[in-house]
Amino acid sequence: MTQAIPTVHLIDDDIAFLTATARLFRAAGLTVAQFGSAQEFLASLTLETRGCVIADLKMPGLNGLDMQTALVRTKNPLPVIFLTGYGDIPASVRAMRNGAEDFLEKHAPKEHLLEAVNRALSRDAEAQERRDRVNEFRSRFASLSEREHEVLHHVLQGKLNKQIAFDLGIHERTVKAHRTAITTKLRVHSVAILTRLAQEIGLFG
Amino acid sequence: MNWMTIAWSMVAAACLTLGMINLRVAIGQNHPTPYLFFFANSLAVASLAGLELGLLEATNLQQYESLLHWAQLPVWVMVVSILGVVWSLFRTGRTWLAVVAAGLNTIALIANFVAPEPGIRHAVAVERMPLFGATFTYAKVENSPWNLVDVMSVAILLVFVLDASIKLWQKGERQRAAIAGGGILFFMLAARAYALLVETGIVHTPYFLCFTYFGVLIAMGHELSEQVLRADRLALALRESERQLAHVERVSTMGQFATSLAHELNQPLGAILRNAEAAELFLQSPAPDLEELRAIVRDIRKDERRACDIIDRLRSFLKRGDLDARPLSVGELLHETVKLTRPHATSRGVTLQMTEAEGLPLVSGDRVHLQQVLLNLVLNAMEAMNADQNNKGYVTLGAVKNPSGAVEVFVQDTGPGFSVENAALLFEAFFTTKRRGMGLGLAISRTIIEAHGGRLWAERNGVQRGATFRFTLPSSPADCLS
């Protein structure tokens, strides 16, 4: 899987403001993608898209909050920073509840803006890392055979080899062999870590 | 032709001129009564001047007698019309006094023509006499008992005028009472007293009646012209307050979407800030990209211009002023309106649409005032839909050329519309269905459109919901091409 470069996705219906803000981010060494409308941005969004979104709260067509709602429903909910021309308390409350990363005034100093962007970018990176890890484990778990899966299920319930052998009607030595195969395939040796990982990826409900 | 002929003819001409002027005023007036009385009075004085001139030139007793006989008719018209003018203009006189005076004079008039004697006054001897280089006919006149009725009617007239003037004075209108009332009294008394002196033979001169009656006419004319001037001043004050009201309404319209305008101003200002910050960062690098920096400076200038345009637009809109009609394009006007209201519409979730408005003739109008009407209609439309939350609204602006060649502008919404019973009230001042609002917007809009020679009205949308406001503007005469 090729990782896309973390990009600041700027959305504003005002071309002058869009260009100027994009310039600032580029000057700060960031990669920027510009969009004239929320629809345009959502159309460009893929699972590989990395980075964060900075959007004007009020835009013709799909406004900032509606865009955020749509974004949260996708499988790639990038962090969102809202820019607003004037303090709109009800809208900001709604945005933050919806998980907005930040809510800044249009005229906030660049330090605040860059700080917020960096925070958003690292949050996205963390989220991505976590997603990658989960995916990785999921594929490792997927490589287990059916019997190994059964054995793992019993192991996670804290049963001893003898009990497992009895339950499954197999020899205790066979259970041991399965356990070795499991630890090799999953590259995890402690039962405690196995339990946590299984929980994290939602194995066995 | 001697000086007498000239002087008396001039008085007659002056009377007729004044009379015609006041007749013209009466035609255009809501309250023509005093002007019509004045017109009658001026005709009477003019005919008196003619008759008097006849007396001066009379060659024998019979001729003199006949003219004197007929003079009673204009005298009657004069008395009645003076009563009429004072009664209808001062509105402070006792009506019964006027009726009695008029009645008595009518009796004297009838007696003059019906009684067996030659008249209520009759000449007994005539002789030619010199006066300032000319000669005139002087007659010794005797009065019949009926003359007493005539004298009494004039006396009552004087009482009536005096009484009305005093009351007017007490009401605080001292100037009117003194000039008009005092003038009428003075000249009437002078006329009658001098006539008495002539008739009793104490002085041997012409009557000079038409001159003194002309004085009465002037006193009344002064008052009437004062009325016309007052009406004019009132109209001027009304226009001024209308203009002030339109200004207040404009300011409050602005207030309605001040936040949207702040948003609009924020865009260029925000862009300037970001450009400046970007430039700062670029300049920190050892080899700054000059091309990029040039682009930044160019954009900063452009955005500064944009912010100024917004402020200019606001300022010209808020500026109060008279109607300054110039040829202008309705399409441009609509575009400007859309530009001004777009942020407001966006923040309210209303879709603002504009249909094609090209190929229309130019109209003659005041940009700011017409802008005010359009803004008012568009804001009303949005407000109407705000009252109706479940319905994401559309406001459509457009203009068409109607069959009569005028441009017809419309603003259509998909709001709740208006009820049949409200239809008649929409354009009434101080009628509003909004929680906040003075109810002046549509009333002022209609005044503005009518001042442009157009019409503003509202229609309920047929099958669809909502209302459509339409106004017409006559096409500009400067628009020769289309």
| Domain harbouring B451, CATH code | 3.30.565.10
Q: What is the pLDDT of residue B186?
A: 92
* Residue-level pLDDT at B78: 92
Torsion sign (Cα): A28, A34, A39, A42:
negative
Measured from the Cβ of residue B86, the count of other Cβ atoms closer than 10 Å reads 27
Task: Considering only residues A11 and B389, tell me which one the structure prediction assigns the higher pLDDT.
Answer: A11
More confident residue, B145 or B411: B411
Pairing of strands B134-143, B121-131: antiparallel
pLDDT digits (tens, 9 = 90+) for A139-150: 888 888 888 888
Number of domains in chain B: 3
Residues of B in contact with A30 (CB under 8 A): none
- B12: CATH: 1.20.1070
pLDDT at B480: 44
Position A88 scores a pLDDT of: 66
Residue B170 is assigned to a structural domain of this protein: yes
Per-residue tokens: A183: 């630890």
Give the best residue of A23, A34, A62, A112 to mutate against chain B (max B CB count within 10 A).
A23
Q: Is residue B311 part of a domain?
A: yes
- Of the pLDDT bands very low, low, confident and very high (cuts 50, 70, 90), residue B482 is very low
Q: How confident is the model at residue B156 (pLDDT cuts 50, 70, 90)?
A: very high
Cα distance from A80 to chain B (closest Cα, Å)?
A: 19
Residues B261 and B347 in one domain: no
Instruction: Looking at the structure, tell me whether residues B140 and B280 fall in a common domain.
Output: no
* Residue B386 and residue B307 share a domain: no
Task: Pick the more confident residue, A159 or B319.
Answer: A159
pLDDT tens, position by position, B88-111: 988 888 999 999 999 999 999 998
Domain boundary residue among B319, B349, B364? B319
N- to C-terminal Cα separation, chain A: 28
Residues B333 and B315 in one domain: no
- Who has greater pLDDT, B125 or B479? B125
Q: Is residue A14 within 8 angstroms of chain B, CB to CB?
A: yes
| Last residue within a domain, chosen from B319, B337, B352 | B319
Q: B299–A16: do the CB atoms touch at under 8 Å?
A: yes
Q: How far is B340 from chain A (nearest CA, A)?
A: 14
Q: Quick: pLDDT tens for B165-215.
A: 999 999 888 888 888 899 999 999 999 888 888 888 888 888 888 888 888
Write the pLDDT tens digit of every residue in A67-116.
Answer: 988 988 888 889 999 887 665 677 777 777 777 878 888 888 889 999 99
Interacting residues of A66 by C-beta distance below 8 A, sequence separation 6+: A38
Per-residue pLDDT at A54 exceeds 90: yes
Contacts of B302 in chain A (CB under 8 A): 16
Mean pLDDT for chain B overall: 84
- Residue to test with chain B: of A10, A12, A17, most B Cβ within 10 A: A17
Searching chain B, which residue's CA lies closest to the CA of residue A12?
B267
Last-in-domain residue among B175, B206, B238: B238
Evaluate if residue B426 carries a pLDDT over 80.
no
Residues of B within 8 A of A86 (CB-CB) are 259, 262-263, 266
The whole-number pLDDT of residue B257 equals: 60
pLDDT tens figures, B241-268 = 877 777 777 777 766 666 666 777 888 8
Residue B419 lies in a domain: yes
Read off the DSSP letter of residue B306. H
- Nearest residue on chain B to A23, alpha-carbon basis: B278
Residues 6+ apart with CB under 8 A from A46: A76
Residue B251: enclosing H or E segment and its boundaries?
helix B209-256
Residue A1 clears pLDDT 50, i.e. is over it? no
- A16 contacts B302? CB cut-off 8 A: yes
Q: Is the pLDDT of residue B55 over 60?
A: yes
**Whether A1 contacts chain B with CB within 8 A:** no
Cβ–Cβ contact B343 with A under 8 A: yes
User: Which DSSP helix (H) or strand (E) runs through B219?
Assistant: helix B209-256
Q: Is residue B251 part of a domain?
A: no
Same structural domain, B381 and B297:
no
Q: Is A37 on the interface with B (CB under 8 A)?
A: no
Question: Could you tell me which chain A residue has the CA closest to the CA of B270?
Answer: A107
Binning pLDDT at 50, 70 and 90, where does residue B163 land? Answer: very high
Statement: residue A25 has pLDDT above 80:
yes
Contact B271 A26 (CB under 8 A): no
- Are B273 and B168 members of one domain? no
Its domain, for residue B262, covers 257-319
B244 within some domain: no
Distance between B342 CA and the closest CA of chain A, angstroms: 9
Residue B273 pLDDT greater than 90, yes or no: yes
Residue A158: is it exposed, middle or buried by C-beta count within 10 angstroms (0-12/13-18/19+)?
exposed
Contact A107 B267 (CB under 8 A): no
Contacts of A32 in chain B (CB under 8 A): none
Q: Which residues of B touch A28 (CB under 8 A)?
A: 281
**Which residues of chain A make contact with B270, given a CB cutoff of 8 A?**
17, 20-21, 85, 106-107
**B284 and B207: one domain?**
no
Of residues A54 and A59, more confidence is placed in A54
Q: Are residues B372 and B279 in the same domain?
A: no
Question: What residue of A is the nearest CA neighbor of B281?
Answer: A27
On whether both B117 and B234 belong to a single domain, the answer is yes
Contact B277 A24 (CB under 8 A): yes
pLDDT tens profile B99-150: 999 999 999 999 888 876 667 788 888 888 888 888 888 888 888 888 889 8
Q: What is the pLDDT of residue B50?
A: 92
How confident is the model over B61-77, as pLDDT tens digits?
Answer: 888 888 888 888 999 99
Asked if residue B218 and residue B286 are part of one domain, the reply reads: no
H or E segment to which residue B149 belongs: helix B147-170
Q: Is the pTM of this model over 0.80?
A: no
Chosen for mutation from A8, A105, A106 (greatest number of chain B CBs closer than 10 Å) is A106
Mean pLDDT of the A158-175 span? 86
What pLDDT is attached to residue B216?
A: 87
Q: Are B270 and A26 inside 8 Å of each other by CB?
A: no
Any domain includes B32 = yes
Task: State yes or no: pLDDT of B272 exceeds 90.
Answer: yes
Same-domain check for residues B262 and B229 = no
Instruction: Tell whether B359 and B226 lie within a shared domain.
Output: no
DSSP B3-58: HHHHHHHHHHHHHHHHHHHHHHHHHT-S--HHHHHHHHHHHHHHHHHHHHHHHHH-
CA separation for the pair B173, B167 (Å, rounded): 9
Give me the percent of chain B exceeding a pLDDT of 70: 90
pLDDT of residue B142: 81
Contacts of A17 in chain B (CB under 8 A): 267-268, 270-271, 274
Per-residue pLDDT at B440: 67
Residue with tokens 């091409």: B481
A24/B292 touch (CB, cutoff 8 Å), yes or no:
no
B243 assigned to some structural domain:
no
